[in-house]
Structure 1
Amino acid sequence: MKTTHDLLGLMKFMGRDNWQGDLQDVMDAHFGAVLDETDLDFEELGDILGDHWQMTLWGCAFEDALSQEFEGGRNPIDDYLKRRGWKESAQTRTYMTALRSSLMSLYEVSEIVPGQSFLARDLLRGGDPVLVHEGTATKTLHLWEKIAARIVEIGGRRILAGGVLPFSSEATDFLMDGVREITGKSKRSRAKLHLEDDALRMAAPFFTIAWLMDALPKLLRQTLPEMRNRDGEAFLFHEVRFPLAEGAAPGDVAARLATVTALEPASERFWNWLETKPAKPIHRAGKPDVLSFDVTMEGGVPVLGNIEMKDGVLVLAVNSAARAARGTELLSEALDWLVRTPLTSIQTVEQLMASRPPGPGPRQSDLPPDVEARLVHEMLDRQYRSILDEPVGMLGNKSPRAAARSKAGRYKVAEWLKYLELQSARHPDPADPMASYDFTWIWRELKVEDLRR
C-alpha cells in the first residue's frame, strides 16, 4: 500500500522522453559545477558522502524540478495529475499539489519537541518562526541548527518535504554570499536579507551547491585547523604520570601540593595549575586556519593545566610541550621523594579525536555526576566571562560586549551565541556536563535576550 508521500509513480513518469531532458537540466544545475570542480561523477558522491546523503541531494534536485515551470509553462506535477492522478490517493494528490508551489529555504530551528514539532525561522525571507509538525527529524535536530528544506502545508499543518540538508556555519555563509550574488543583493546584515519568492525559486540549486562545497573538502581532506594555546604554542596534549613512591600516601602528596602557590584545588583530588605571571593577551596567529584559545579562571587568570590523583598516580595534563616541561619541573621539585620518575604520553589533536569512541561512552571521572557538572559549569562560566571582553573572530574581532552596543552587532552576537549553544548541544553524550551547560546568563549579560528566538 502506498504511503501519503509516495512519489514513486511521479518518478517513473519523469523518466518519460518528454520530461527526461528537463529533469537532466535541473540535475546539471544542482550538481554540474561541483562535479566539474572536483572531477567526480555523481555515482562517486555515494562513495564519499554515503548513499543516504547522495539520495537526499538527488531528492532536493528532484523536488526542485517538480516546482518549476519549463518551456511553455509545463510542470511535471500538473501533467502527472492530469494524466495519472486517478491512480493516486487524495492525500498523495494533496501532497504533490503542495510540492508544486513549494520553495527551498534556509531555516533556523528552535523550541524542539522530540517526536512532535519544532519552530522554523526563515533566514532568507524573514518573518516570525512557524510551527512544523515532524516526528523523525525532531529526534536528531538541535537547538539553533540550520537546515535547508521545503516546508509544505497539508490540511492546515506544516510538514517537511523529503529533501532536508543540515547546514554548518561555513555552508550557511557560503549560501548567504552566493544568494546575494545571484540575486543582486548587497552584502548587508543577514538579519535584513528578505528575498521574494521568485528570487528564492531561482536560487534553489545553490542550496545543493553550498552544502556540497562545504562537505566534500572536509571529507576528501579530513584536515583540522592548526590549534595553538594562549602562548602561541602548538597544541600537543601531554599526560605526565607520576607514580607514588613506596611509602608515600595520597595525603602526603596533597599536603605538598597545598604549599605550591600556582596550584588551586578544585577538590581533594584535583588541582588547577595557574599562571602566576601577569596575564598577557592570547597570542593571535593572524591566520584564518589557525585557532588560538585557552581556559582562564574567573578574573582572567590563565589555566596552564590540570593535576589529578588517579589510582595512586598523580597525573599532569597540559596542551603543549613547553607546559609539560614546566609542569614536570614544578611537581618534581615540590614532591621530591614522594614520586618516582614520571612517564609521559603525547597525543596530537587528530590522535585524541581518533581515540574517542564514536558515540557516548561510560563516564571516566571519579567524581559524582553532580559534583563533576558543577565543576565543569563553573569552569565554563569563568571561560565565557573572560571571552566577553576579548576579540572574537565571528564578531569581526570585536569583543562580545563591544559588538552588542550596536544594532548590527547585536545580531552578530546572537548568531555567535546560537553557534555556541548548538556546538554544546551536539555533544555525543547528552548527559555530559559540556552538553548541559546553560547559556542563558550570557544572553542576559549582553542584553540580547530579545533575539533568542
Structure 2
Amino acid sequence: MHKDHDLMGLMKFLAREDWKEPFHAVLDEHFGPAMDAFDLTHDDIEDLLDDAWAMTLWGCAFEDFLTRDLEPDGRNLVEDYLKRRGWKETPRTKAYMKELRTSVMSLYEVSEIVPGQSLRARDLIRAGEPIVVSERSTTHTLKPWDKIAARIVPQRDGHVFAGGLLPFSSEAATMLLDGIHDSLDKDSLSSPFMDDKLQTAAPLFTLAWLFDVLPKALGEEQPVLQNRDGEEIVFHTVRFPLAIRMTQKEIGTRLDTLQDLRRESETFWNWLGDSPQTRDGKDQGAMSLDVTMDDGRPVLGNIELKERSLLLMVNSAARAARGTAMLQEVLGNRVLTPLTEIQTVDQMRESSQGQPAGASSIPPEIATPIVHAMLDKQYRETLDEPVGMIGDVAPRAAVKTAEGREKVADWLKFLENRSASHNDPTDPMVTYDFGWMWRELGIQDLRQ
C-alpha cells in the first residue's frame, strides 16, 4: 500500500459505537443474499476463501460505506473523521480519503498492460474513453480483456485503483451487467446523475462475484461432459506397436480401405461417424464435446502413425473399444497387442495447469511458427463462417452493422483473453497476435 493511501486511522475510527451498526447493515447488503442462498455465515465465507479475498471483499463494503450519507442527519464517515482526526493525516492522505468519499465502483475491461507499471481500463457501464491507471501488483496477473470491478481514484499525478478490486469471469460479468441494468432504469444509465445512481448498486458487485466463486469453492458438481453418443468424456489413447518388418506405408494402405477413415496427411486419419442426428442416450443437461468436419460428419477419433506405433485417440471408453476392434480386424497380425492410456477431463485439466513453463518437448522456436500458421489458416476460414457468439453470423457479414461490429469485437476479445490464459508465456497460443483479424475486419478502433 502506498503510504499516502493508508486508511488505518479511518478503520479504527469505524470501531466507534455510532458507526458500528450502520456499517454492519452495509456488510449485510454485500454478503446477506449470498449467505442466504448458500446457507453460509460470514465465518463460513472466510473459511472457504483465502484471507486475501476475505479482506478484499471486506474492503469493497468498507469503501462503499465511505460514500454513504447516513439517515437521518446525512452523516458521513470520511467527513466526520477528517473533522475530528484529520490533523493526524498528511495532505495527500486526506485528499485520497476525499476522493474515496465520492468514488464509484464500476466494471472495467483492461488492456495495454505494462507489468509493474500501468494498464488501460475501459468502463463497461458508463462508457467513455479508457483511463490509464498506475498499478504495480495486479498488472503481473491480469491479461488483456480481463474484466475487473474496481474504484478508480484520481490523484495529482494520474489515477490509481482503490483497495477493493475483484477479477470477474465472463459469466460473472454478464450476471453483474444484467443486475445493474435491471436495478437502474435505462434513462439513468446515460444521465449526468449516473454516478449517484451507480453508487446505490455497489453491493451488486460483491454479490455477483460471490455467486460466481462460492459454488466453485463449495465444490458443487461440475457440468457433465458427454460426446454426441451420450458417453462420458474420458480420453483414451490406444497404442498398437507395429509388427516386425511392418512399414508405415503398408499400414496406411490397409487403413485407406476403411470407408469411415479420411486421410488428412501421410500419417494422420480422422475417424468419422454418421451425419449429425439426435441421439436418445444424450443427457440433455450435459455439455457436449465433439468435433465435426465441414460436411457435418462428426469426428469419432483420430488415428496417427508415429515411428513404430499406430495411435488411436478417442474421447470415450465405448469409442476406444469400437475403434480397437475396427483396427484389429483390418490390420490383423500387422500390429501387436495394444496398450491403452486413460485420462479423465479433471486429470487432463490438472496436468495442463500444473505443467511448468517450458515443459513442452517441442522447442518454442519450432512449435511457434507451425502453430501460428495453423491458427492463421483456421481463423481466416472462421471469418466467413457463422459464429455462435455473434448470433450465428459470419464475422465479415456482422461488421456491416454497428451492433454487429460490437459483437465481433467482444468475440475477438474473448479469443485473445482465452489464448493469453495459458500458464507458459512462451506457449505459441500466448504469443499469437490477433491484430491482423481486427485490421482485416476493419474494427481496430474498437480494440481498446
TM-score, structure 1 as length reference: 0.85
How many pairs were matched up? 440
Structure 1 stretches lacking a partner, 5+ long: none
Q: Per-residue deviation at 1:350?
A: 2.4
Alignment of 1:312-351 (within 5 A): 312-321=308-317, 323-325=319-321, 327-329=323-325, 331-332=327-328, 335-351=331-347
Name 1:219's counterpart in structure 2: 217
Residues of 2 paired with 1:305 and 1:288: CA distance?
24
Q: 1:293 to 1:417 in 2, by over 3 A?
A: farther
Alignment of 1:68-79 (within 5 A): 68-71=68-71, 72-79=73-80
Q: 1:181 to 1:79 in 2, by over 3 A?
A: same
Alignment of 1:419-430 (within 5 A): 419-430=414-425
Question: Is structure 2 residue 432 aligned with structure 1 residue 437?
Answer: yes
Q: Per-residue deviation at 1:342?
A: 0.9
Letter in 2 for 1:363: A
Question: Is structure 2 residue 133 aligned with structure 1 residue 132?
Answer: yes
Residues of 2 paired with 1:373 and 1:260: CA distance?
31
Alpha carbons 2:276, 2:296 under 8 Å: kept: no
Q: 1:165 to 1:233 in 2, by over 3 A?
A: same
Alpha carbons 1:244, 1:313 under 8 Å: kept: yes
Alpha carbons 1:56, 1:164 under 8 Å: kept: yes
Query: Deviations along 1:361-383, whole A, 9 cap, x unmatched?
Result: 55344x44333233433444454
Residues of 2 paired with 1:83 and 1:254: CA distance?
88
Question: Is structure 2 residue 227 aligned with structure 1 residue 235?
Answer: no
Q: Per-residue deviation at 1:198?
A: 0.9
- 1:4 is paired with a residue whose SS is helix
Root mean square deviation of aligned Cα: 3.4
Name 2:287's counterpart in structure 1: 290
Q: Per-residue deviation at 1:319?
A: 2.1
Query: Deviations along 1:102-125, whole A, 9 cap, x unmatched?
Result: 111100001111111111000111
Q: Per-residue deviation at 1:101?
A: 1.3
Q: Per-residue deviation at 1:223?
A: 3.6
Residues of 2 paired with 1:279 and 1:383: CA distance?
23
Q: After the TM superposition, which of the residue ranges 278-287 and 354-363 deviates more from structure 2? A: 278-287
Name 1:54's counterpart in structure 2: 54
Residues of 2 paired with 1:331 and 1:450: CA distance?
53
Q: 1:194 to 1:413 in 2, by over 3 A?
A: farther
Alignment of 1:263-274 (within 5 A): 263-265=263-265, 271-274=267-270
- 1:124 is paired with a residue whose SS is coil
Residues of 1 paired with 2:35 and 2:371: CA distance?
45
Residues of 2 paired with 1:407 and 1:231: CA distance?
40
Letter in 2 for 1:82: K
Q: Per-residue deviation at 1:173?
A: 1.0
Name 1:23's counterpart in structure 2: 23
Name 1:146's counterpart in structure 2: 147
Structure 2 stretches lacking a partner, 5+ long: 257-261
- 2:203 is paired with a residue whose SS is helix
Query: Deviations along 1:250-306, whole A, 9 cap, x unmatched?
Result: xx225633774433338xxxx442256897599998968624442758x98876544
Q: 1:82 to 1:157 in 2, by over 3 A?
A: same
Letter in 2 for 1:434: M
Alpha carbons 2:358, 2:426 under 8 Å: kept: no
Alignment of 1:387-406 (within 5 A): 387-388=382-383, 391-406=386-401
Name 2:43's counterpart in structure 1: 43
Q: After the TM superposition, which of the residue ranges 342-351 and 176-185 deviates more from structure 2? A: 342-351
TM-score, structure 2 as length reference: 0.86
Residues of 1 paired with 2:90 and 2:2: CA distance?
8
Alignment of 1:107-118 (within 5 A): 107-118=108-119
Q: Per-residue deviation at 1:346?
A: 2.8
Letter in 1 for 2:148: I
Name 1:197's counterpart in structure 2: 195
Query: Deviations along 1:85-140, whole A, 9 cap, x unmatched?
Result: 12122332222122111111100001111111111000111101111111111111
Alpha carbons 2:236, 2:320 under 8 Å: kept: yes
Name 1:415's counterpart in structure 2: 410
